[in-house]
Structure 1
Amino acid sequence: MASVKKFQVTFDCAEPEHLARFWCEVLGYVVPPPPEGFATWDDHKQSRPSEQRDSWFACVDPTGVGPRLYFQRVPEGKAAKNRVHLDVRAGTGLVGEERLATLEAECARLVALGAVHERTLYADEENESCIVMRDIEGNEFCLD
């Protein structure tokens, strides 16, 4: 059986481009080039019927390692806790106070971008610290 090597993460949202650009800042991702035949994303947007403009947007890892993030407009708002969320690995390999300080600094950077700090989960006998946050449309994610 063949195994899948690539995947994308899809977000349902109200404002695809706005949310995509937020996640570009969080993860160091970039907006890919516009589709062939278009000089800019605005040119591509203007070529679409008005009801399809701003219906989706994407961002990619410039190294090609991470998954593509795809954002699609949906009519309904977020109604419940995410069943799946992203863990933004800001403290990988760090422990104790050094980890917590790194996570808190990243949290402050993301709050300045519009994210919301929900709560800090402090280290215990089994787990290291992490910070639960929400993006600009209320989707939960963790700084880990």
Structure 2
Amino acid sequence: MASVKQIQVTFDCAEPERVARFWCELLGYVAPPPPEGFASWDEFNRTLPPERQGSAFACSDPSGVGPRLYFQRVPEGKVVKNRVHLDVRVGTGLVGEERLAALEAECARLVALGAVRGRLLLADGDNESCLVMQDIEGNEFCLA
């Protein structure tokens, strides 16, 4: 029998720390402390060659349950729809108007952080309602 593996979800982006801090707010994740001997990440970054400064950042679930998120700077911008996206489950167990209210409330909170509201997909015979959104660099995710 295969053992369960831990995963890390990696995002390509232009501004790793900015995007990571958005996802920390969205998910209740935390950024790691700076490396030993450094008072801040800015102080650590200043020790790196210019091309590596700010090139990556991570955040993790403080409870240790969810996957680590890793953000790496890439030179190209986002061009097309993501092939993989995260479903952020804010309406679990809710149906109908109660679910829609939970999705809308979380959407409003995230828009204030810089997210962009996409389309609302209403419940059908197979799926509950969800709300398609984009993070601060255009990566799609769903509030489900």
Calculate the TM-score normalised by the size of structure 1.
0.95
The amino acid of 1:90's aligned partner reads V
For 2:48 and 2:37, locate their aligned partners in 1 and report how far apart those are by CA, in whole Å: 13
Structure 2 stretches of 5 or more lacking a match?
none
State the match for 2:114 in structure 1: 114
State the match for 2:75 in structure 1: 75
Q: 1:123-134 residue pairs with structure 2 within 5 A?
A: 123-134=123-134
> Do residues 41 (structure 1) and 41 (structure 2) align?
yes
Structure 1 stretches of 5 or more lacking a match?
none
For 1:55 and 1:46, locate their aligned partners in 2 and report how far apart those are by CA, in whole Å: 12
State the match for 1:95 in structure 2: 95
1:106 alignment partner, SS class: helix
Identity value in percent: 77
> Do residues 61 (structure 1) and 44 (structure 2) align?
no
For 2:77 and 2:22, locate their aligned partners in 1 and report how far apart those are by CA, in whole Å: 18
CA shift, 1:2, in A, is 4.4
Calculate the TM-score normalised by the size of structure 2.
0.95
The amino acid of 1:8's aligned partner reads Q
The amino acid of 1:27's aligned partner reads L
Aligned length: 144
**RMSD across aligned positions (CA):** 1.1
2:46 alignment partner, SS class: helix
Q: 1:5-44 residue pairs with structure 2 within 5 A?
A: 5-44=5-44
1:47 alignment partner, SS class: coil
